[in-house]
Amino acid sequence: MIRNTMRRTATCVISLSALQAFAADVLPGDINPGIALRRQADIRLDKELAVISRQRIVVEDAFTGTGKQKQFVPVVFTLPPMRVQDDDAQHRIHDLRFAVNGMAIKPARKLTVMLGDKDIAWRIATLGWKESELIAFLRDGQAPAGKLPLPAAWFDTQGRPRFQLRETYSWDQWFAPGRAVTIRHSYAPATSGETGIKPSQLIRRVGDAACIDEGRQSVMKSLDAGAGIDWTGVRYRIAGSRGWRPGAQDFTLRVDTGGDFLATCMTGGKALDKRVQQFRAGNISMDQVIDLVFARTGRQSP
């Protein structure tokens, strides 16, 4: 996906698109997001450093204001659709932390209820429903006593909601002309995976998404000591939005494998030590999704 540092700009972007077309299948599970600006502004993304492991994603973005005046721009972090009936923490992003220029901040949290492209949270509030009551209703089917019913048009013929719940965290950030602003966010990621699976099954399921070629297939088969292999999939979307032009002038991804075998469509990686692989690219376009598969001998503790 990402070529080595000697092949810059256009070559890097072309290789990203080509590999995405090759990997027709994608990993299961939610995409772990980066931050975004709520509106386009004169702001340049100089660097992004993403450090990813099975347990945590840590991202630092360095911005510079390029306008003639100071700008007040909302920064937003939007989680994937909420799965209220899924109690498995593996599938949920949690332990969110944010900092600006090294100082921890607490963004404002908002629950949006998206029906198509419209937020209907305000309509739910006018019916007297609290957020906790809506979540409880979607989880166990028990409507709160004494509250007006939700419109039937919001549900399909099977009674399943047509709307999605999403949590967003946002704050207003000043960007001064020529001044650098570093925004750091980190969280325990949403992941997918299985334990004790046969290597051949894993290869069939996610082989294309993680570019598991013959060489990687051989390594995965060697990990099976008789109890299969365990694997974890992590998906990450590079910071920002298509509106940022150009993309990150300097993009660095460091993957802490924790000693696992790493399969990914990224190329040109460099081993920093036995646990960490690094990939770099210049002027990378935004909104790219990176798929990572961590594989290890079966029956190991997470």
d(CA 263, CA 59): 21
First to last CA, the chain: 27
| Contact between residue 295 and residue 202 where contact means Cβ atoms under 8 Å apart | yes
pLDDT at 161: 93
Return the DSSP state at 101: T
Evaluate whether 259 touches 296 at the Cβ level (below 8 Å): yes
pLDDT for the residue numbered 247 = 61
Give the separation between CA 120 and CA 166, rounded to whole angstroms.
12
Structure confidence at residue 109 (pLDDT): 96
Angle between helix 214-223 and 199-206 (nearest 10): 140
- Domains of the chain are 10-120+163-297 (2.60.40.3680), 121-162 (no CATH)
Six-digit token string for 143? 């409507």
Residue 246 near residue 64, CB atoms below 8 Å:
no
- Residue 121's SS3 state is helix
What is the C-alpha separation between 174 and 256, in angstroms, rounded? 33
According to the model, what pLDDT value does residue 155 have?
A: 93
Residues β-bridged to residue 256 = 276
Total Cβ atoms within 10 A of residue 221: 14
pLDDT along the chain (302 residues), means of 10: 34 33 63 85 86 96 89 91 69 92 96 94 94 91 90 92 94 93 96 93 91 94 94 86 60 94 90 93 76 89 51
**Which pLDDT score is estimated for 13?**
32
The confidence score (pLDDT) of residue 281 equals 80
Residue 265's nearest CA partner among 6, 17, 10, 81 is: 17
pLDDT at 268: 83
